[in-house]
Structure 1
């Protein structure tokens, strides 16, 4: 609904009316009693713009028509004894011209249709509904009677009692519909709101007013609504009827909600008709709280302004607060004198409406800001700024205008127009039309053709063939889900690595189980293994050293034994030579043979010297040589004898030393034999220790392998390719699993199963093998085909205690588009029937049995 008032403060406008000024011939004047005083509502129904005048302003209005401005000013003083200045008269005429009430071109009527844009509204006019309402109201006159109000109020009371008595069931069904079909509720609410606007217009027409405009309205530029301009209600004298015009929309919504709730109560739950009735009930009632809010320019606001006799309450209250703040901040200026009731209303309503607007716009901007930033990142701040500038462009414009005025001190003056000399005739006022006046109606044959065409369209639609189906929601699961059950072989705390619906390949890790006891044993065992390995490495090093010592002792023993053998052989040869009495065939060893050769050489020389000495003696005796030669020969023999003796002593010493070497060699052989035996004993002992350590290490490693095997068995892997299943898989993350507990399942999703619950009233339409069409949210543009595989033999109660039967559907998924776990909506086709037959069949199924079984 849209009601327009004349603003209290107007600036001067340039005249586009005829001169001398006069009222347009379409202007209507309606006197009304308001707060024990008479006011006059002046308006032009074709534009839907009205102004409320007091007695003084109405007196000036009566002077218009064929008079110049000076004549009007003078005439007012003559007739009413007051002083009417030209400036005041021009301002008053500017108001009238702004509302397009003066005769002539006037202000553009289109301008009025854009006024709402200044208040964060945008509207688009569609058509003038007055001719339509003129034809409808006479046929629906019984609606605006006391009896109708009493009956509908009684129905509303019954609906309230029914709702209180069945509140748990209503709450359950409402929660389900809101969560599953929120957009349908919003759509139903929009339909009811559209009819709500017609309720305003029809009521206004029934009480003598006019509705001049129907169009589309965007509240805050994004909330869609339909509006009906019922500014003509100002022409209705009775305030109670004006209030009824404003309240008609909300009353209509209450009536729609009442009828829908009672219809839902009569219908079988969980049927198409029952859900539709509840959808319209929710759509009707949920919108009332928003529409009846007096802090936004909807029904609640206009009802409050009429109730308090305070038109333009929002603008005037905010203007009053701005003036108060201006006086408190800058001083100067006298406050406007207002009645206490009006001043109190402005004082309370101004902050409330402003605060609500700020909170509402802030919530919108915050939501849009989060959306923009999540999708546009840094550019989202710019998007938020643009939306904020659009929503608050009026405030920004006023602020800029105020700053400009303060900086440049610009004043605008308008000179009064030049008065022509030509006289003009006063234009009389046109009274408002009565509600009983007959309006032109179209010929009867046109109406008959219209209804005939409409009936033909309805019959054609009802006879059109259509697939009769049974709908249902279900979850996609694999056909062979029970294959390859994965269980936990050991207990432990689970770390889940996959989630339901993931496609995995054979060998992929699925989960790890953390066993604190197993880990403690493994840590202790690893410490023992490290210690044993260290000992084993030490023994390996020791045995290598000892083996080297053994080898070295063996080499030394061999060398000593060889030397001992050689020495003993030489000793044996020496003994054999001695026992043989200087036998030539037995030689000394090489070292002794040298000494023996030296003795033999010296002895040969001695023998030769002795022979020479004997010859010298013979010759000396014969005095053939001098004595000196003899003495020389004797000295030489003596020297050679000494040399032979010395050589023999050296040989004897060598023999003694050789004997000693033989004795020492035997001792060394015995020592080396002892060392070799000791080294061999050490090697044998170390080898025994090494073998024991090796066996211990093997035992520990075998135990480690066992623990590793247990640990590897705790690491669960996929045994085959497939998809993970298990609704509670993620809930197991971080929890302790007992040995043998089931973790998840793996299956091939090439064929999927959908289990849906079909109500018992529709199970008769379902047959095995029936074709199935299926859609998912993930693929809204694709329709998947399937068939009914199995129908459950036993009824199962659902969460609402309604008996249902489980129906299993098979759907091919060769391309892998469908994923297990997706929610699917399926329609089971049970034949092709006329739409009328399908509707009648659904109606019979929807009715409670007790309503038609007698």
Structure 2
């Protein structure tokens, strides 16, 4: 028999709020009030006791342009029927046991329920979608509960009665369509058993790999402790993990409802900007199991991010870049977020799953009420647990909150106070106030445990149309296009950070080679000079004097050599004989005189002094005879070859000394050793200053061809070849590309902050003279051409060929 339904209610009231119109219907069964949105009420009115569900679906689609599934419609009807707002006008068909929160309960039977305080942690809605069937919307961020009158004959008043949904305000709305492929990837574990198996296999493989490379993990963790690095890593990791969690929620919501959620940036704790997915419009489209699936998808996302980040760390750990540190930071943060999310004491995924498992909504609120000796009202059919269990859970929750508060106060507050003093304390108080503002305001407004209606589905996405042959053709063309693109040749260009070296290869020092004062300076700083150009003169007085002395000595020795080689003449022989004869005559006379003075001295006729003088003259005369005889003998015996050789050696020695002094004379002129410019600030002396040997006078920099050093990761050094072209961009000139050529590759690898690197030197062209020593930039070394797919999968291939190979026993 065909089943039909009819909407029934005792009284209807309308309330306009900032979020739109809300319609309140009073149940004829127990006078309880229920809130509906205009779209929900329009759908409910179509059930007039004669139309079937199929007819209503068709009419709703034609009238409002909205398509609903039979499953969603049946859940909506079950909710209306359980609320006493619907009756069956034909045979009764079995309904669903799950109650969807399209309507929310507002009985207010007891004082406890009317005064119930509702927790509203701003962080919760950023993480998961609440699973409870009862008061499901209460668990969302920013929900406000306002007191509602339960008297059947009173109309609710604005500001005092009625409830509305205040969804988290998006500061910036971002189109999510282009991110949906990534969102679907993050929701793979909820698609089936095979996906779950792959999910756990990837996580276990990541853990095994990290344990296998634990020493490298420890190395990178030590590098992460640098303040600047950990700040950068933490910031990027927080946004990455947050984005993944929100995309997972969006992907799961779309998977279950075929409706794309709103996505954007909102404030967490009224301070921190975060990505946020609004699921307020999905409440009426999701069953209890589907809402649990959304919660699990956010938890799964943390594990997926951990697996992907670990995998990326494996293939980049030796790249010598910041990327492996970032990946290990993201992996660690995702694990921390997962542990915190599974904590049942914090109102996050673990708490909601526990609440759903126990079948007890508002578990934390009930536990806190139990500690105060009160009981929160329970809807008929809801499960209850022991008051002692509630009290124990409440104590654990309070201990957890106090512990977290104390930890944040001690760590963050202590750090701010230690580094910023009183200003740090004010900053901490401001942050704490901004964080607690929203919860305190909600606690002041919350008074009773009432339900809230969900937004209607006025913008429900229509059911997806069947795939046509045109769609298949487009997909095939795209697939073929991707394959062709993957086969295109692509030049792989390894590279790294480049520094222009201030070394001798790209500059030359002009230093004093002699000790002398500066006599004249002929250049200025920044002046362009050519190789060999005179830069300055030093005083050369000492060198000129030494040169003159040595030249005179050489002339004398040369004359002696010529004389020795020519031999004596007759005149020289006669003169020598005459000198001998004269010496002998003088000696005889002196000898006789000395003998006479000796006799007279004995007689006392002459003094002793006169006697001694005569003896001295006689001795000298005898020596002159000997010398003259020797000279005559030498002259008569001719000059020996040994004597001639000795004279020649003396001449050679003096000539070498002359060359040395002339070289020193050349050193008095300071000339440029290369083409370049006088480096700014390098002329360290002035005219008249005395330079010691080795003192620096100026620096000439080759500004046409500079030497650069590229830090190439060891994983890419196999692609580098000497003579390969280099493309360079400097931070100082981002709009211009400079050229270079690889000159040399270091024979060993060096350690860097991000792993092993190999230093590659390149000659950098600088025709305009713009580049300066010590400038930094990025360089790409032109490598070999390979297919696109091989170039962009190098890390993966290397990971398989090296890392996985090392795991094999």
Higher gyration radius (CA): 1
Q: Output the TM-score relative to the length of structure 1.
A: 0.42
Q: Output the TM-score relative to the length of structure 2.
A: 0.44
More helix by share: 1
